[in-house]
Amino acid sequence: MPNKKNVIDYIRTIPDFPHEGIMFRDVTTLFSDPRGFRICIDQLLSPYAGMRIDKVVGLEARGFILGGAVAHQLSVGFVPIRKKGKLPGKTIEQAYKLEYGDAVMEVHDDAILPGEKVLVVDDLLATGGTAEAGIKLIERMGGEVVSAAFVIDLPELGGRERLANMGIDTHWLCEFGGK
C-alpha cells in the first residue's frame, strides 16, 4: 500500500531565499504533482461545501493558479487581484506594506458586484498585508468576503490574527514555524 501524503509533503523549502535567514516555502513542487495538486484543491474547497460563493479572488501570483482551480470546481467566476499596472481598463487600487517594503494591488472596478459573496485564495499567509489589501478592495466594491483560504500559514508572522481582527474567517492546509 503506498504511503498517504499530505499537502505539506509536496512543499519544498528553500533556505535563504529571497534573503538570508528566510525559509522560502515553494509550492511549485505541489503544483507540479497531479496528486498533490488535486489533494490541495479538494482540501481548499472542503470547508465551503454548500456555501454560497459567487466569485473566487486569487491574489498575485500563485493565488491565480489556486483560485482559478477553486473557481472552476465551484463553477463560479474568477477575479485576479494584481500588482499595480498589470490590468488594462479602469481599476481601483489599495496600498499596503510588505515584509520588505510597500506595494499597491489593484482590481478592475467592475469585477465584483455589490452583495456578491467572495472567497479569497492565495498560497501563503504571512503578515496578512496582501490579503488585507485584497479584502479591502473587495469590500470597497460592495462584495462580502466569506472566507480566505491558504495552502500555508506562517502563524508567527501574525497574518491569521490580522485577518481575524478584520472579522475574516481563515482556512489553511498546513503551517510552518519561523519566517
For the domain that residue 57 is a member of, what is the CATH number? 3.40.50.2020
Pairwise CA distance, residues 109 & 104, whole Å: 15
Residue 148 lies inside a defined structural domain of this protein: yes
Q: How many domains does the chain have?
A: 1
Closest CA to 159 of 127, 129, 135, 134: 127
Residue 39 lies inside a defined structural domain of this protein: no
According to the model, what pLDDT value does residue 76 have? 98
Q: What's the chain's average pLDDT?
A: 95
Q: 82: domain range?
A: 49-175
Cα-only R_g, the chain: 16
Pairwise CA distance, residues 130 & 72, whole Å: 23
pLDDT (tens digit, 9 = 90+) per residue, 81-104?
A: 999 999 999 999 999 987 678 999
Residue 18 lies inside a defined structural domain of this protein: no
Residue 122 lies inside a defined structural domain of this protein: yes
Q: Note the pTM of the prediction, 2 decimals.
A: 0.95
Catalytic residue IDs:
62, 99
pLDDT (tens digit, 9 = 90+) per residue, 22-67?
A: 899 999 999 999 999 999 999 999 999 999 999 999 999 999 999 9
Residue 1 lies inside a defined structural domain of this protein: no
Residue 147 lies inside a defined structural domain of this protein: yes
Residue 21 lies inside a defined structural domain of this protein: no
Letter for the amino acid at 104?
V
